[in-house]
Amino acid sequence: MERINYSQLIQKILTEHSVNNGKNHTEIQLIFDTKRHHYQVLNIGWKEQKRIYGVIIHVDLKDNKIWIQRDGTEIGIANQLITAGVPKKDIVLGFHIKSV
């Protein structure tokens, strides 16, 4: 069985989350650092007089594992990765505290 290219898969999934729903005047930005393996989806703009800037999704590749640093989606990036064939042992929820 051929190993999944994690970088390409992450980029595909994050691109699917980059569609702006049009409910506000913000911009969804994709940031892919394929050399250092950092991937983000950002929400940037203004809502009336309030500045909007936030990370929706942040994923890193470290030590052949997919580290989910931030997941602001309803479906869950980990669920999408598992559905795409990534073994659970290769997914780390970086926003959860490690048990001692």
CATH topology of domain 6-93: TATA-Binding Protein (3.30.310)
Query: How much of the chain exceeds pLDDT 90, in percent?
Result: 77
Asked if 74 and 67 touch (Cβ cutoff 8 Å), the reply is no
Task: Report pLDDT for 59.
Answer: 99
Asked if 42 and 28 touch (Cβ cutoff 8 Å), the reply is yes
Measured CA to CA in angstroms, residue 13 lies from 18, 32, 39, 59, 100 at distances of 9, 12, 11, 11, 32
pLDDT at 13 over 60: yes
Task: Report pLDDT for 48.
Answer: 86
pTM of the model: 0.88
3-state secondary structure of 54: strand
Residue ranges per domain, the chain? 6-93
Range with the lowest mean pLDDT among 16-20, 37-41, 72-76? Answer: 16-20
CA distance 94 to 59: 9
CA distance 47 to 87: 40
pLDDT tens profile 18-34: 987 666 678 999 999 99
Task: Report pLDDT for 66.
Answer: 98
